Amino acid sequence: MVNIMNYDYALFCRGFVFSDMEINSPKEDWKQFILKYNNKNYYLWYDSKNELSFKTKGNNFCLILGYAMDTVDWHMEIDIICDSLLSNLCKSLNCFYDYLDVLNGRFVIIFGYDNNIIALNDATAMRSVYYHDKKCIIASHYEIIKNLTNETKHPFYDTFINIEKYKPWTLPGDMTPYNNIKILLANHELDLITLKIRRFFPRENNKEISLDEALLILPNHLKNQMETLVKYATPLISMTSGRDSKLTLSTTRDIKDKCIYFTFVNENPNLSNYDQRNRLKDFSYSKHISKVYNLNFKPLILNGQIFNNNELSKILKINHYHQHIPSAILEYIEKLPKGIHVQSNLIEIIRDLTYVYPKPPKHNSPQEIMSGWMMYWSIRHEIKDIINDFWKRNQWDEIFDYERVRLFYWEHRMSAWNNAATLLENDCAFNTYMLLNCRKLLNLGFCIPKYDRDKDLLVKYSTEKLWPELLYYIENTNKTLFDYYEYNTNAQKLELKDNLRYNTNLENKILKIEKNYQVIFGFDKCNLKSNDFCEIKLNKTLLIKKYVQISLTNDSNSLLTENNALYYIKTNSNLIYEQDLSTLINKSNIINIELDLDNFEELSIGIFCLKPINLNDYGIYLNLNLEYIKISDKPFQSIINLIAK
C-alpha cells in the first residue's frame, strides 16, 4: 500500500526527462542514465518504477523505458524486447517498425542509427511524451520541461481555462499550457537532432480483410495478452456495463481467480446527474456479474471530495491541467492491492465512433472535420491558425488511404486526452495496461468493412468467442436478453425483397439496398432541400395480420445533428409516429403497431428533410435501415406500441 500522506509520491509519478543538457533531477529519488552517442552526452533521469533497458551494436543503439509485451513470443522481458528492437533496427528501419507494431505496453523508445537520435512512444502514446520544439528536451510531463526552460504561458491557455459553455477536455491539437512545449502524438516520432516530428504510421495503404479473418486474430490475441500479463502482475480489471468493458472482462474467463475486479459509485448519487446515474448502473451490473461468476470484486465508494485546497489536489493539477475523476484516486490507493490496471478505452478505435461527440452542423475543411473530434473545437474560430499549424506538422495529407477522421480519433483523442490526462492522474495509484494498445490490433479496425465496424461486429463476436454468456447481459442497462425475449411464437417475418413500392420526390437520388428480410433506403450523396422525402410502402395483401413489429436502425457513419430530418410511420397516409433521425444513428428502435384490418390499406415508412442538407457535411448518405418486419395474430411485447388510426 502507498502512504497516502506522502503526497510528493504523486508528483511526476512514473515520469522521466531526457536532454542533451546536463540537468538536475526533477525529484530527489530518481535514477540517472548517461547515454554517449557520437562523442556527445545525453542525460536521462527517471522514476525507478519504470524498467529501463539499453542495448548497443556498432553505431546503433536502442533504449526503452517503461514496460512492454512482445505479442509474438508472448513475454514481458524488457531486455529481450530491447535486444529484438536493436536487432531489427540493424536490419532496416522497416523491420524495426514492423516489430514495434506487435508490441503492447506503455513505454518511450529512444534509438540511434546513422547519426540520428529518434524518440517515439507506444501505439497510442499511453506513455505521454512532451517535447520542446527549440531545445533537445523530452519528458513525461510538460511541467518538467517548463521548469527547466522557464517557458511562459501560451496566450490561448487563459482563454481555454475560462471557457464556460462546451468546454473541451483538451487544448486544441498538440498544445500544452506553455509556449514551445508540445505533446508527441501516437504514430509520430521526434528527431532529437533536428527537433522535427515525422509520421511513421501508416506506412502503406490500408488492406481490407473480412470480419471472419479479423476474428481469427483478435479474440485469441487478447486472451494471450491477459494470460501473459497475469504472469507478471495482478490485473486490476475496471468494470462497467458497457460493451468495451465486457470484451475486456471476457479475456479473463480462464484466469479470473487471479484478477481483481472493481468499479466505483458515488456514495449519495445525484440521480439528475448523467455521470452519476451511469456509475450507479455500472455498479449494479458489476456486483451482479461478480456474484454470478464468483469474481473477486472490490466496490469503491466515492464520497464526493475532490481534494479542494489540499496538497494532493495541487500536485494532480501540476501533473496535467485536465482533471478526470480525482475523487477516485484515494479509493484506488486505499482499497486496491498492488497490481496493474487494465482499462478498455482503446476498444473505441476499432468500432464505430459516430456517437462520441456532438458534431457542429457543417464542416468546411479537413481541419474543421478533425477539430470536431476534439469536442467542439471546430465551433471556436479563434483557434483556426492553431489547428492549421497542427495539421501541417502532423502530416495529415500523408496517410495513404486511411480514414482521416478515424485515424485522428486514435492519435489525438487517445494521446492528448485519455492517455495524457487520465493516466497521469492515476499514476500515483497504479500503472495501466490496455489490451488494444498494439498497432497490429488497432489496424484491424481500419481493415474490416465499414458495415462491420458500424455494427460493432468485431467487438461483439470477439466477446462471443471468449465468454459467450456475457452477451446475455445487455450493455449499459441492468437488463438481460430475457427482458427482450419474444414470447410470441406465431410471429412471421416478412420477405421484403421485391415486395416494396418506393415513393419519393427525388427518384434519381434515392438509395435502395434490398435483402430478403431487410431493406436500406434513403438518399445517396447529394444536396437535399426542405420537404424532400423518401419512403417505402407495404399494402394490405402483405400485412395480413393484426399486429406488426418494425425494427429500424441507422448504421451510417453520419454527422447528422438534431432538427435536420425525421423518420416516420404512416398508415393510410395518416402519420402515427415520427422521430428525429439523429436519435436513431447507431441505435435501434422496435415499434409495435396494432392494425384495424377492416379499414387498413397501406403502411409507409420514410425519411423527411426539415431543412436543406448537403450530404457532404453529414457523411456519405442519409438512410434508414429497416431490419425486419414481423406480423402476428397475437400482441408483441411492448417497447413502443402504436394503434393505427
pLDDT in tens, 167-205: 788 898 899 999 999 999 999 999 999 999 999 999 999
Topology at the third CATH level for domain 486-643:
Jelly Rolls (2.60.120)
pLDDT in tens, 313-364: 889 999 999 988 888 888 898 889 999 999 988 888 888 665 444 444 455 5
pLDDT of residue 297: 95
* Chain mean pLDDT for the chain: 88
pLDDT at residue 1 tops 60: no
Rg (CA), the chain: 27
Among 185, 143, 130, CA closest to 18: 130
CATH number of the structural domain 211-482: 3.40.50
439, HSE (Cβ side, Cα atoms, 13 Å): 22
Edge-to-edge strands, sheet with 431-434: 297-302, 260-266, 235-238, 340-343, 431-434
pTM of the predicted structure, to 2 decimals: 0.77
605, 550 in Cβ contact below 8 A? Answer: yes
Take residue 181 and report the three cell numbers written for it. Answer: 512545449
pLDDT at residue 309 tops 70: no
By CB atoms closer than 10 A (0-12, 13-18, 19+), residue 111 is buried
The owner of cell 531526457 is 18
**Of the given ranges (357-366, 422-431, 501-510), which has the lowest mean pLDDT?**
357-366
**10-to-16, 135, 314, 340, 512 alpha-carbon distances in Å:** 14, 27, 10, 17, 58
CA dihedral (451, 400, 416, 378) in degrees, to 10, reads -80
Alpha-helix residue ranges (DSSP H) falling in 431-504: 439-442, 444-447, 450-454, 457-466
pLDDT of residue 3: 40
Does a cis peptide bond (omega within 30 degrees of 0) precede residue 202? Answer: yes
Take residue 601 and report the three cell numbers written for it. Answer: 390499406
Q: How far apart are CA 272 and CA 340, in angstroms?
A: 33
Of the two residues 477 and 521, the one the predictor is more confident about is: 521
**Of the given ranges (139-153, 234-248, 349-363, 584-598), which has the lowest mean pLDDT?**
349-363
Q: How far apart are CA 337 and CA 2, in angstroms?
A: 10
Check: CATH 3.60.20.10 for 7-199? yes
591, 629 in Cβ contact below 8 A? Answer: no
593, 388 in Cβ contact below 8 A? Answer: no
pLDDT of residue 484: 59
pLDDT in tens, 476-500: 777 777 665 555 667 889 999 889 9
| C-beta atoms surrounding 180 within 10 Å | 16
pLDDT at residue 300 tops 70: yes
Of the two residues 475 and 171, the one the predictor is more confident about is: 171
Q: How far apart are CA 264 and CA 273, in angstroms?
A: 15
pLDDT of residue 559: 66
| Contacts (Cβ under 8 Å, ≥6 apart) of 28 | none
Give the residue extent of every domain in the chain.
7-199, 211-482, 486-643
The owner of cell 473477486 is 296
Identity at 221, one-letter amino acid code = H
Identity at 529, one-letter amino acid code = K
pLDDT at residue 112 tops 60: yes
pLDDT at residue 241 tops 90: no
pLDDT in tens, 548-594: 999 998 755 566 778 999 999 999 999 999 999 988 876 778 899 99
302, 266 in Cβ contact below 8 A? Answer: yes
pLDDT at residue 642 tops 70: no
pLDDT of residue 613: 87
